[in-house]
Amino acid sequence: MNLAGGGRLAEVHNLCVVVTNQVQSQPDDFFSDGNGLRPTVGNVMAHATTYRIMLRKAGKTRIAIMIDSPYHMYDQTRFSITETGVQDVEEYKNAGPEW
């Protein structure tokens, strides 16, 4: 399924479509946005999606960073994946950029 087909499917059937992408290092762009990463597919994914959330591994926890959203401001939170499911890690919530 292509990106346009996923969006149409979501509209017709009131579904959430999750699309994944990888990032790669771009050292020459390090000073422009501070993280030195860029999407592997480029801006195609950015234009075809409504929300962009970056997931990073940080030791035994994970960090979810809201990169782009029409309704939410930039934010991040830590969580962990355990035998019982996804658990919030409260002591790191909104602690500032870690990436």
Q: Is the pLDDT of residue 32 over 60?
A: no
pTM of the predicted protein model:
0.67
CA neighbor of 80 nearest in space, from 63, 97, 67, 98:
63
The whole-number pLDDT of residue 20 equals 80
For the cut 80, the answer to whether the pLDDT of residue 35 exceeds it is no
What string of DSSP letters covers the chain? --HHHHHHHHHHHT--------EEE-GGGHHHHSS-EEESS-HHHHHH-S-EEEEEEETTEEEEEEEE-SS--SEEEEEEEETTEEEE-GGGTT-----
Sequence-distant (≥ 6) Cβ neighbours of residue 70 within 8 angstroms: 50
